[in-house]
Every structure is written in structure tokens, then in C-alpha cells.
Amino acid sequence: MSSKSSARRSTCSLIRLEWNRLAMIRSQMVLSFSRRRKALLLPVPSLCKGFRVGALRPQVGGTFEVRKVDLEEGRTTRSSTLEVILPSDLKGTASISAKIECSRDLMKVLNGRCNPFRPIEKSPPWQVQLERAQSIFQLKGLFAHLSQEALHSEGRLVPHQVLENRIICQLFPHVCLVLELHVDRNEIEGNPAVDEPAVERNLLTYTLEALLAHYQRKMVQGSIGLHPATAPLLMSERRRKAGPLCVSREELLDMVENESRSLLDQAIDIAKHMYLRKRVVTVIDEVTQHVKELHVICNAQSWSTAMMSTLRIMLTPNGYDALYRNLLLVKIGTDDVEVTCKNEMKTVRFQPDLTDFANFLKNQVNQVRVMGASVFTRLLNWTLLSSLTTYDSHLQEQVATVLLGSPDHKRVVSISACPSREPVVFVQRWSGEETASSHSALVTNLQWQLLGGQFNRCDLSAVCGRTFLHQLELVLCGLMAETGSELVHNGHS
């Protein structure tokens, strides 16, 4: 009995020894990486060869080790039995930061980090580590490619600057895009998929991530996995489909032009568009934030791309939406902003500076105030006598003025509006209020006695009403009454 137990014990120890030897699995693996596919592990016979990743130029070599962990060694807290041992230059995380800086205001307009090759959250820890190592390689390769394009770009007034791991490109005067490669060598403890440092994400980083991922996918597909059905055949898929889709000559030229553009040029165009978009929204906010008597609706249209957006701005008098409206369609490109004014049936282009755009918007706001008031007063049977737009050199802006006559032809009201202040109402003194002493002895003809007097400013703060048109309605109704003179404030005009 004891001999049998001792033989069994020795057999068990032998099995345990074999198990320990098998637990030390060393193999070289080639990892074909895609964020959406599972990692493919293919055995490579030689232990000494470096591995090659995708289409990186130059080829980056290195070895890493995947070990099967023996649970009896006490590491029961691990969720996976595989352990990845990476060399020091593959540890950590990498990302590319994109900043748009305006040197005039010394401010960062947009700032964020992007990494299109982040590991998927619920992957096993060993896969996350391998994918992180992969992303370091790919981002280094992409950044090297961007640096080469920046150094060899021609035909630009201000050449791009490449400083170690930073690329500075000028978008507009005083506005530049800074691309920087960040590699954080600190190894992340705990759950690597969750504990990545939180980075600021915005539309610029999302778009750049998509661009980098698309470019990397195109490069990887071009060098590996060639198959007769999916091989590019020296032209892109879009170009291959151009024939059966009856693509016209102009579309073909656009396609060829877009495909021949470099990665850095595409990133610069995206950054230009994002900057213009942010500036346009800021200008609209600045112009309309103090406008109380107008209802401003600004919607982004659905037909927007990474390099073109459309905004729809509707300006209506507050509370009287059906009375008068001004519709502006703002098309934001990469180099300019195009505004189509539906009321005036005209299209205007503005430079990236957007000072003219701000002035244009202020004038449109002004126009809506004045035209809204004139349309409203016509409903009350007042007559539009004249409409005038002049430039006030003191205020240095355009002033729009309308002159309205009462239904009984006894009162004249002037409404004047400019962008920097609220609309002002002036009421002409009633000819019936003229006393005998005010008539000149020289002017005896009756027709001169029917002329109105000077215009006096109306104090709208003393008039009840939530909006300017409410107050105007009260003023006009009061003027129609016999005792309308109390509303006229004897101030300077």
C-alpha cells in the first residue's frame, strides 16, 4: 500500500514538473492589428527575428514575450493566465495632441489629444498591453510621416516647422496648428483598459482620429492581405466604382485631386474648418447676446462634412415670429465663410478674419429691428413715409431710420436703430399744439402752419411692454388719442 502511494506521489510530482516546464511558453508572434478585429496570433519559427507591424516605414524591430502564468505561483488575483513582458520602449501610452493657437489673443482655440488606436475597453489585459504597444509604434510611424510631409511641403508662404516631436503649421495669419506626439512611459497599474488618463475630446480630435485611422487602414491594406477580390488594383475603391456610377468629368477631377493630397494637408484643412466654425459661432454669440427684442435661432444643418458646415440663422422680432423674418444661410468652408441672405437674394463671402462678418450680422440684426417695426406699424394703419440707411461717423456704424405717418395724417414718428444700442423712437410735435406765439409774422401762408415741429425722443423706459414692439404699439395707440402729448418727453432729440 505504501509502495503504491509512494509511486502515485512520484508520478504526481513528475506530472507537476512537466506542467511547470510547459508553463514557460516562449514564442514569437506577429500581431496583425485592427481595432475592430480580434488579434491574430501566428507562430513564427525563429525566436530571434524582430516583428514587423503593418506598413510602418521605417520598419521597427523588437521582441516581446508572452508567458503562461502558473496559477499555483500564487497570482490568483489575475483575470488572465497570459502575461505579456514588453521591453521598456514599448511600455506606456502614446497620443497625438492637436492644438489650434491664436497668437493675437494668446489663447488656445481648440485643444485635445487623439489616439485612434486605443484598446477596446473589455479586452483581456494581455491584449490591451499588446494593443498599447502597437499603438505606440503606429503613432510614431504616422507622426514620422507627418514630419516628412511637413519638411518637404512646397509652395507655402510660411513653411511648416518641425521641432523634435512637434509640428507647427500656420492656418491663417496669427493662427497656427500644433501637432505634438506624447509618449507616457509610466506603466499603468490596475485595469489598464480603464485607467488611461482622461483627455480632452472635441470635434477636432474626433475628426483627426478618423483621418489617422483611415490613413493607417489604407496603408495596411495596401501592403498586406492582398486578395484578387479586395486588392486595390492600383486605384482606390472609389475610383474603381467611378465607371459604373457614371461619374462626370468634374467629379473625377475632384476625386483625383483629393486622393493626391497629403495627410498633413488634409489635417490642416480640417483644423482650418474647425477654427472657422468655432469663430463663426463665437461671433454670432457676441453679436446676438445683447439683442433682446429679436428672437435668434441658429441651427447646424445636417449636410456637414469634416471640411464644410452649414448654419441656418433665423432672425425674427420677439413675439412676432410671423410678422417678419430674416433668414441667413452661413456656409463655412476651409478658407472663407459664405453667407446667403434670403431676403435680399444675395451671397457674400467673408475672409477668415470675420470682422466683416460681424459687421454684416450687426447690420442684418438692425435691419430686422427696423423692418419688423415698419411692418408692424403698417398693421396699425400707419403709413411708411420713408426708409433710410446712413453711416453715423460718431458711432462708426450704420443707422437705419424709418419715418411713419399716422392714419389721421397728424403725427409723424421716426424709428432709428443701430447695432450698438436699442431702437429709439422720435415723435414729431403735433401741429395742433403750436401756439400763436410760435408762428412767425413773416410766414403767413396757411400751408406752413400745418408743418410739424421738431422731433422729440420718446422715453421707452417709461412705457410698459415686454418687447420693443409692445412698447411701440402702446406709443402709437397713445399718439392716436387726443392726449398723446403726455408721452412726448421734452428732452433733447
In this complex, which beta carbon is closest to another protein, that of residue 156 or of residue 240?
A: 240
According to the binding rule CB under 8 A, does residue 43 interact with another protein? no
Contact stretch for another protein (CB under 8 A) within 48-56, 248-256, 320-328, 434-442: 248-256
Bridge partners, residue 121, by sequence: none
- Rounded CA-CA distance 276/342 in Å is 22
Single out the segment in contact with another protein by CB under 8 A; choices: 72-80, 167-175, 245-253, 473-481. Answer: 245-253
Q: Among residues 31 and 247, whose Cβ is nearest to another protein? A: 247
Size of the site for another protein (CB under 8 A): 11
Phi (first) and psi of residue 434, to 5 degrees: -65, 135
Where do we find the cell 505634438? 180
Show the site string, 224-243: x = touches another protein by CB under 8 A, - = not: ---------------xx-xx
> Residue from 248, 282, 301, 383 that binds another protein (CB under 8 A)?
248
Angle, helix 263-288 to helix 203-223, in steps of 10 degrees: 160
- What are the backbone dihedrals phi and psi of residue 165, each rounded to the nearest 5 degrees, phi first? -105, 35
- The whole-angstrom separation of Cα 155 and Cα 253 is 21
| Residue 261 contacts another protein per CB under 8 A | no
DSSP string, 324-353: --EEEEEEE-SS-EEEEETTTTEEEEE-TT
| Conformational region of residue 453, where left means phi above 0, alpha means psi within -120 to 50, and beta covers everything else | beta
Is the Cα dihedral 228, 234, 237, 243 positive or negative?
negative
Would you say 10 or 347 has its CB closer to another protein? 347
Cβ-based nearer residue to another protein, 303 or 391: 303
Residue nearer to another protein on the CB measure, 44 or 252:
252
Interaction between residue 14 and another protein (CB under 8 A): no
Q: Which of 247, 281, 329, 460 binds another protein (CB under 8 A)?
A: 247
Is 22 a binding residue for another protein by CB under 8 A? The answer is no
Among 229, 234, 246, 322, indicate the residue that binds another protein (CB under 8 A).
246
Do residues 196 and 188 make contact, with C-beta atoms less than 8 angstroms apart? yes
Q: Which is nearer to another protein, 75 or 240 (CB)?
A: 240
Helix spans in 24-124 (H): none
How many Å apart are CA 207 and CA 268, to the nearest integer? Answer: 12
Nearest-approach distance from CB 311 to another protein, in angstroms: 24
Nearer to another protein (CB atom), residue 58 or residue 243: 243
Give me the residues that bind another protein (CB under 8 A), please: 239-240, 242-249, 252
